[in-house]
Each structure stands twice: as structure tokens, then as C-alpha cells.
Amino acid sequence: MLQQLFSPSVQHTLDLVGIFVFAISGALLAVRKNFDVFGIAVLAEVTALGGGVFRDLVIGAVPPAAFTDLGYFLTPFLAALLVFFLHPQVERIQFGVNVFDAAGLGLFCVTGTVKAYDYGLGLTSSVALGLGSAVGGGVLRDVLANETPSLLRWDRDLYAVPAIVGATMVAVCIRYDALGPFTSGLAVVTAFVLRLLAMRYHWRAPRAWNRRSNVREE
């Protein structure tokens, strides 16, 4: 089914663009954390490929695509080198990086859901793995950098929710035999636009109802 959504060349190109942008976000965090060049490369690789590797291991698509396609493996290194030498300039175009990151989020939540379903998972499990494909690398990045994952922080703009919406749209289309290039593209665009709106208007998920906590907010 995945092959019917995009041609192989288009799918590969989109994957590499998404991987590159995710890798930049990981490398930038490494620079902020004062990591050395090895740490920058590791965080770039983990951020870019972690979600896809997690998905492939769960569904039994081994070895994961990240280890069978040299382009997938080398692209994060290129991003790491770019950030290593030009991180002040990259920081100045952070908004542009965030826009491409949102596009990668939309793409990977859709392709991850479809791939999981192709390997025999049910619709709900496929949505969960679609989400994991899109955000898993960022979670691993934050854990390795000793940060509370952005995914779990109340003071960060919605990130997981747009991916869940996109993945759910794919599951609904699969359920009603309506998944095709147009509907899958619509799911990508929906997740992308929701993420952009969340960044623009600082949409955040609600915290506990009638919260009465003495824990200090960070």
C-alpha cells in the first residue's frame, strides 16, 4: 500500500528531507548542551532515525531501513557537520527549520501508520506506531541530552497531537478503503498545518483538572 501513495523516488527524497531536518534539531540541541563533535553526530543520528528504527523493530522489518540505505545513515552526518560549523547561522533560521520539521512530522506520521498496517498491525496499533515514527527520535534525543522530553512538557506547543490527527486520518481512510495519494496527502497537510498553527498561536494541551500541585514549575 505504501508504494501506491508515492513513487519510490519521491518517497526516498521526502524521507531524506525529513531526516535532514530532524537531524538538525538534534545537532542544535547538542550544541546548546556543549557536546563535542561526536555527541553532535550521535544526537543528529538518533533524532533523525530513532522513530523509524523503533517502528521497524516493532513490526519486524529488519534490518531497519536506516541500516540498509546508506543515504538514510549519512544524511544526519551531513546535518551534524552543517551545524558544527555554522550553528550560529542555523540558529538564526530556526523558524524555517521548525517549518520543515513540521512537514517531516506530517510525512512520517502518515508513512509510519501505513507501513505498520502493511505489516499486519491493527488500525489502533498502526496509529500508535505512526505517532512513534514521527516523534520517537525527538524523545530519544531529549532523553540522551538529559532533558524532559518536549513531548511531555506542558509549556511546549502541541507536537504529538498533530501527528495523532494525521495518523488517525490515515487509519480512517484505510478502514473505509479510501486511502490514496490525495487522502494521504491531505493527512500530511493536516498534521503539518496543525503543527504550524500550534507554533503560531502557542496551542498547548490542558493540564490536570483543578490542578493543586506543590511541585515547582520549570
Domain boundaries, the chain: 2-201
Q: What is the DSSP letter of 120?
A: T
Tens of pLDDT along 63-101?
Answer: 998 999 999 999 999 999 999 999 999 988 888 889 989
Q: Which of the 8 DSSP states describes residue 150?
A: G
pLDDT tens profile 125-173: 999 999 999 999 999 999 999 999 988 988 899 999 999 999 999 999 9
C-alpha–C-alpha distance, residues 138 and 92, integer Å: 21
pTM: predicted TM-score of the whole model, two decimal places = 0.91
CB atoms within 10 A of CB 100: 17
